[in-house]
Amino acid sequence: MIGLGHKTYHEIDCSVPNPHLVAVGASHIGKRPQQQDAIYSCGHMLLPHNYETESAGNGIVSFVESCHFPGVFAIADGMGGHAYGDIASSLCIENLDKACRNLPRYSSVESVAAFVSMGIAEADKAIVEQACSNGGADMGTTLVALSVCDDGCRISSIGDSRCYLYANNELVCLTKDDTEAQRIADMGLAPGEEYTPLYSGDSLTRYVGQGRNGLVVKPREYSFDVDSALIMLCSDGLYKALRDDEIANVLSAGNSLAQTSTELVEQSISRDDADNSSVLLVQVRRS
């Protein structure tokens, strides 16, 4: 169990009948020529394979998934400044799926997170090999992955895609960006004020495909209140366009998860459509 600020989020109550996970997502390609975000939920890659066939009139692709514990959810964002960003993010999710396919029903969150870490390491190798076969082109992707089991959840992240917890009307970022801006801030060399959401100097210091003597990602463990917690995974196209308070306002409106995810992407694209924008909302249900 971990405390976030002054609040404590308790472990999942498994005494209720048939607790399960619901995941609802949305994505928009923006002005990018490619959809470089890849979304993984309940054992399925939801993007980019079905983008062309399932996008709505507003250009937003939406998804609804449901599964029992354990559940693995992820967003990978191919690096737009590198070649083949769409391939990198797809390779990342494909290797994550290979590692997490057919997880035992009663797996512990520690064991599931270990499979996620293994998938990330294999993805790193696969992307490096693919880059070499493409003449040494730079390839890479971010990844944020959520493992949810009966005994809690863990977050594994590399790059600057993020995971947020929304509970008790409070939005908390559970991840830390692997960026040059964050590194400078950690060293105390940056001004005291926070970076603005549209800050453009966030070059990545770590990413999947970097191939730096084997990639090791240590998951962070969290527990949360099953009745009030909503977990949000997103690519940087969303949170760089919307401030945390704007995201919280949408989450607090009381709409369905489908309406909420669509609204988040619509607002981010209307504010700044230079990048792909993707979100995945995950919640535990008791029914």
Q: Which two tokens stand for residue 254?
A: 């009381």
pLDDT (0 to 100) of residue 157: 95
Closest to 114 in 3D by CA, of 135, 102, 96: 96
Spatial CB neighbours of 244, under 8 Å, sequence gap ≥ 6? 171, 173
pLDDT (0 to 100) of residue 211: 86
Question: What is the per-residue pLDDT across 103-148, written as a single tens digit (0 to 9) for each?
Answer: 888 889 999 999 999 999 999 999 999 999 887 778 999 999 999 9
Strand (E) or helix (H) holding 88: helix 85-100
Question: What is the per-residue pLDDT across 48-66, written as a single tens digit (0 to 9) for each?
Answer: 654 443 555 578 999 899 9
CB atoms within 10 A of CB 151: 18
Three-class SS state of 275: coil
pLDDT (0 to 100) of residue 71: 93
Angle at 73 between CA 87 and CA 92, to 5 degrees: 20
pLDDT (0 to 100) of residue 201: 53
In whole angstroms, what is the distance from residue 244 CA to residue 170 CA?
10
Three-class SS state of 153: strand
Three-class SS state of 249: helix
pLDDT (0 to 100) of residue 98: 96
pLDDT (0 to 100) of residue 6: 32
Which residues of the chain carry a pLDDT beneath 70? Answer: 1-18, 48-57, 81-83, 189-202, 213-214, 223-228, 286-287
**How many residues can be counted in the chain?**
287
